[in-house]
Amino acid sequence: MSDEIEFVSLPPSPYGVKAKWALDYYGVTYKFTKYTPGIGERWLRRKAGKKDGIVTIPVLFTPDGVLMDSFDIAQWADKHGKDNAGKKLFPDGQLQVISKWNRACDDVLEYGRAQIINKLKSDKGLRRQMMPPVLNSLGPLTDWLSSMMYSGIASKYDELSKASSFAKTSAAFEQLREAINSNNGYILGSFTYADIAMAVACDRMEPLGSPYYEAPEVMRLPNIELKEKFADLLQYRDRIFKEHFPNQNKQTP
């Protein structure tokens, strides 16, 4: 199966972490290709046959077609992966409610990304760490290239960033707190993709990084404002990662 399936992602991407978690949960084997922001976009667009619109990672190339959204990838894994003792990430009849939790997660991730982009815009040291090694030692040229690259990325996500907010993020975390407190520590009463999505969302508050995934400094900076309000949710995040993250000794490729 691995020859036919290719997973394109960038390890610290929380969207990539969500998709990979589902693929690994179901024992899907795949070839991993690391994506390089900016530089890799033309290649990805051509390979996926997507001429127009925004192209994002993660992407999964399958014998059934190309999936360009983490939620679609997770559902594909749910249908095509190994049985996993019948414990499904998308139990029958729960797709709609899990989709709402995935949307809540995206509200958090979009707010987090807007903050990361702002930090990168104003700090060339942080930007340098994000550049591929081959472009990382060219002095002022590296800084110019990284500044061009991150202006491109900032404008790509401009609308989503403007629509994101601390209020939406707080609302998502308030709902999470209520759900886990009334359902035995899991959003829907037992482990599902809703927990993967919201654990990854909580991870934006104070990123775990290694051993779960490698992340550059800018992605590891905690959000103090959120942490002050929702530090209790970090215990939930820790438990979900610790007990359910597949292949704990193996980092995200």
Q: Which residues make up the interface to ligand GSH (CB under 6 A)?
A: 13, 15, 37, 41, 56-58, 69-71, 153, 156
Query: How far is it, in rounded angstroms, from Cα 181 to Cα 170?
Result: 16
- Looking at the chain, how many residues does it have? 253
- Burial letters for 98-123: b for 16+ Cβ neighbours within 10 Å, e otherwise? bbebbebbbbbbbbbbbbbbeebeee
Query: In angstroms, what is the minimal distance from the CB of 71 to ligand GSH?
Result: 6
Number of H helices, E strands in the chain: 12, 4
Angle, to 10 degrees, between the axis of helix 166-182 and the axis of helix 193-203? 130
- Burial letters for 176-201: b for 16+ Cβ neighbours within 10 Å, e otherwise? beebbeeeeebbbeebbbbbbbbbbb
Neighbouring C-alpha atoms within 13 Å toward the C-beta of 182:
5
Query: In angstroms, what is the minimal distance from the CB of 141 to ligand GSH?
Result: 21
Q: Which of 4, 37, 229, 24 is nearest to 131 (CA)?
A: 37
Residue 172 · residue 201 · CB < 8 Å? yes
DSSP code string of 21-41: HHHHHTT---EEEE--TTTTH
58/207 with CB nearer ligand GSH: 58
